[in-house]
Structure 1
């Protein structure tokens, strides 16, 4: 395996399922390479270690590709977009593995591409954005509006996944009771998006005190509970929540929340849990309440629609300090991973020159 390519299984071992798939946004489009070599964060699949290396700059090898220079890289479309050298752009890292020729891809479901078992993305199956320059397919590039703050640009990919999941829920009553499990950046983005559209009965459950404090500072949640407080508050009750959103991937949390769901409610499985994680459901409860279980995998054709949404939400919801997002230079990548593992931050961002 080429050292600089991310293998999903190796990546999972490296970050113990806690760090997010490498996402890269906030690029500057480049017309051509100016240096023969560049700095890059390289993953060695044999030693399972990362290191900063001087590597050869990537070359554009196809008329469908473009060369971009990443500026903000988060740790964790078919349209041809008109962009020019020097434009500030975002890159959707999720794409079709087969070139959009298989059955699902031809139906705009490239997240179900038959060539790959679980998605296909830059930073996992191909070189990612922890480098000064990277070549990507032009169809994955989206121009940013001038008013979009650079420090908010990396949130476009995260919110595009949440926005895709929100679309799966369809129309929700404004007074719907919604429970979010987990106050990492994904859980927080779910809360911000739902609050932005007018939902006010939002409850979030999170064991980490640091993350609960972050959730409270956002001022979008009606209540912020520990799992124990959640269980005590609704002990003996049922038919409480219209929607439960799993943003933590913890089986026991999901199992306990199902008993609180209202008839006709929807359980959204959004978090990327380990394949060994199983959940036990009471089949009669699912049958009698007509509960729905909705999985959400990546963000097919959602990125472009989400860029203006981030622009509309950035002043009220996208303050990176309140979101507990911290920035690190490329040389401090180990600090970024350590902070994520400890839960000291909601998300880390690698900032390149």
Structure 2
């Protein structure tokens, strides 16, 4: 089978031919991959900003068809369409017992499919059966490829609730995460939403989603702040991972405002915030890690959003073959697309 293997020591991504995994454990399933996305975190892994296993098949945004099951698997059968939740816990540690399995030292990020165990940039991948979720029969296969990113955003969405209609919202970054957040805001009736994005290509893509939300550049945001010091927002959702943008965002918050950090910054990055400002305005800062208990919720969001919001062309998603991985990565970095997805069917 074809795979994209990443050598983290050499920082090399190579297309290889390797055997299909020959033997399953009793509780695993072999999945014939249909679609596997490239996440922004994958780009940071490729650059060495985020640690991964020494040699690994990346790809944690996966959907496909069950090809084979282990002896003890009864939740799915060969032929079932499934989306893969890459996140799991050990189930017995204090974090898992408290319902925070994404903090688990044995599981969570430390056992993530496509990071520390082989993932979906391949024709086949092996995953625990409990992490394979049945795709509803009426859901388009291509939309199911967005289940994992939307599950992480679902977790972030929960962390900014309750949020009254009429509140002013600022989204930093119009990559796929910022676009999906905007779709959820629009679906739920929010209209006072501004999106800030430096790349022209991504701003054009965002306009095609047709939310009617304002989209501006960082320079335009600074000009607005200079001309109207009282222009403030109630919620900032950061999807950029840019520490300078985070520092500026805190200054834009109203009394009682919230900064929710979704974008992934490099581990060594830091941003400064005034403790007095937090005190004076009673500001809240939270962050979003992975997707605990959000996978089924994500599928419900996909059903609600459907092609009105999530059509690949409208959302700026482009499909590539595995062999075209260099082109896919270039397009994603350039901002001419919001997301790249490998298609193996």
Normalised by the shorter chain, which TM-score bucket?
A: 0.7 to 0.9
TM-score norm. by structure 2 comes to 0.86
8 A Cα contact 1:111 1:297, kept in partner: yes
Aligned-residue offset at 1:270: 0.6
Q: 1: CA distance between counterparts of 2:212 and 2:168? A: 11
| Pair 1:119–1:247, CA change in 2 (3 A) | farther
Query: What is residue 230 of structure 1 aligned with on the other side?
Result: 221
| Pair 1:313–1:280, CA change in 2 (3 A) | same
Query: What is residue 242 of structure 1 aligned with on the other side?
Result: 234
Does residue 120 of structure 1 match 2:83? no
Q: 1: CA distance between counterparts of 2:216 and 2:106? A: 42
What do residues 124-164 of structure 1 show as CA deviations (whole Å, max 9, x unaligned)?
Answer: 10001011111100111111112211221111111111111
8 A Cα contact 1:323 1:346, kept in partner: yes
Query: Among 15, 18, 21, which residue is 1:58 paired with?
Result: 21
Q: 2: CA distance between counterparts of 1:305 and 1:60? A: 32
Q: 1: CA distance between counterparts of 2:139 and 2:74? A: 17
Counting helix residues as a fraction of each chain, which structure ranks higher?
Answer: 2
Q: 1: CA distance between counterparts of 2:32 and 2:159? A: 34
Range moving further from structure 2, 118-127 or 136-145: 118-127
Q: 1: CA distance between counterparts of 2:132 and 2:327? A: 29
Does residue 74 of structure 1 match 2:37? yes
Range moving further from structure 2, 293-302 or 340-349: 340-349
Q: 1: CA distance between counterparts of 2:145 and 2:81? A: 12
Moved over 3 A (4+): 115-120
Aligned-residue offset at 1:344: 1.8
What do residues 154-179 of structure 1 show as CA deviations (whole Å, max 9, x unaligned)?
Answer: 11111111111110112111111110
Q: 1: CA distance between counterparts of 2:337 and 2:33? A: 22
What do residues 166-210 of structure 1 show as CA deviations (whole Å, max 9, x unaligned)?
Answer: 101121111111100000000000100111111111110000000
Does residue 143 of structure 1 match 2:106? no
Query: Among 86, 89, 92, which residue is 2:85 paired with?
Result: 92
| Pair 1:112–1:239, CA change in 2 (3 A) | farther
Q: 2: CA distance between counterparts of 1:114 and 1:60? A: 27
Give unpaired runs (5+ residues) of structure 2: 40-72
Does residue 322 of structure 1 match 2:314? yes
Query: What is residue 274 of structure 1 aligned with on the other side?
Result: 266
Aligned-residue offset at 1:221: 4.5
Number of residue pairs matched by the alignment: 311
Give unpaired runs (5+ residues) of structure 1: 1-37
Q: 2: CA distance between counterparts of 1:51 and 1:104? A: 37
The SS at the match of 1:122 is: coil
Range moving further from structure 2, 101-110 or 156-165: 101-110
Does residue 251 of structure 1 match 2:249? no
Aligned-residue offset at 1:117: 8.9
Aligned-residue offset at 1:220: 1.7
8 A Cα contact 1:266 1:292, kept in partner: yes
Does residue 262 of structure 1 match 2:271? no
| Pair 1:103–1:221, CA change in 2 (3 A) | farther
Q: 2: CA distance between counterparts of 1:227 and 1:130? A: 34
The SS at the match of 1:72 is: strand
The SS at the match of 2:18 is: strand
8 A Cα contact 1:94 1:120, kept in partner: yes
